[in-house]
């Protein structure tokens, strides 16, 4: 069975970006992010995928409403949660959900874990990370100089095979 993990840098306002870019940069956060997702498939929305640099060793599973319209070496295009999970399973047993906003919301009920970098930024949000809910519990907090990474576990994840198609 595939384990789905959300990973995001989140400002105090809940912001994850401005719709075009991530309006902050923390070297330690970038490094811990790359270390976590390296050698794992990553589930990402099409707009986010097209605007980012791929982390070495990752296999993008790109969620889009029109997967047949896209083709890219070393990437898989899907339109559903079950399709994404199937693509992740073909690559390994862990997949990271890396955004954007609608992709986090789509996969939240099915995710097993979340790694949230709590950043001191106070940007006005145009794109936000979803509220995790009461079935998520903090399991660890990793302190860095300028931020913390909080690890959560979903105590009641839904089965992604039962997601709408």
Contact status, residue 6 vs residue 99, Cβ threshold 8 Å: no
Model confidence at 142, in pLDDT bands (50, 70, 90)? Answer: very high
In sequence order, the 6+-apart residues with CB closer than 8 A to the CB of 139 are 151, 152, 153
Domains, the chain, in order of start with CATH, read 13-162 (3.40.430.10)
What would the mean pLDDT of 16-31 be, rounded to a whole number? 91
Q: Is the pLDDT of residue 59 over 90?
A: yes
Q: What is the residue-averaged pLDDT of the chain? A: 95
Show the tokens assigned to 162.
Answer: 């039962």
CA–CA gap between residue 74 and residue 56 (Å, rounded):
12
* Percent of residues, the chain, with pLDDT higher than 90: 85
The full DSSP string for 127-155 is EEPPP--TTEEEEEEEE-SS-EEEEEEES
The tens digit of pLDDT for each residue in 100-123 reads 999 999 999 999 999 999 999 998
Residue 65, classed as helix, strand or coil, is: coil
């Amino acid at each position: 069975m595939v384990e789905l993990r959300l990973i995001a840098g989140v400002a105090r306002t809940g912001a994850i970006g401005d719709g075009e870019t991530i309006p902050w940069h923390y070297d330690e956060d970038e490094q811990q992010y790359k270390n976590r997702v390296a050698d794992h498939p990553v589930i990402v929305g099409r707009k986010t995928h097209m605007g980012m640099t791929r982390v070495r060793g990752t296999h993008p599973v790109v969620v889009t409403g029109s997967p047949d319209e896209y083709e890219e070496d070393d990437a898989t295009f899907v339109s559903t949660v079950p399709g994404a999970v199937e693509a992740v399973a073909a690559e390994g047993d862990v997949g990271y959900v890396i955004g954007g906003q609608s992709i986090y919301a789509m996969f939240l009920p099915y995710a097993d874990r979340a790694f949230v970098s709590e950043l001191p930024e106070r940007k006005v949000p145009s794109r936000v990370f979803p509220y995790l809910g009461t079935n998520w519990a903090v399991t660890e907090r990793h302190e860095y100089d300028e931020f913390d990474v909080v690890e959560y576990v979903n105590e009641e994840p839904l089965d992604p095979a039962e997601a709408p198609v």
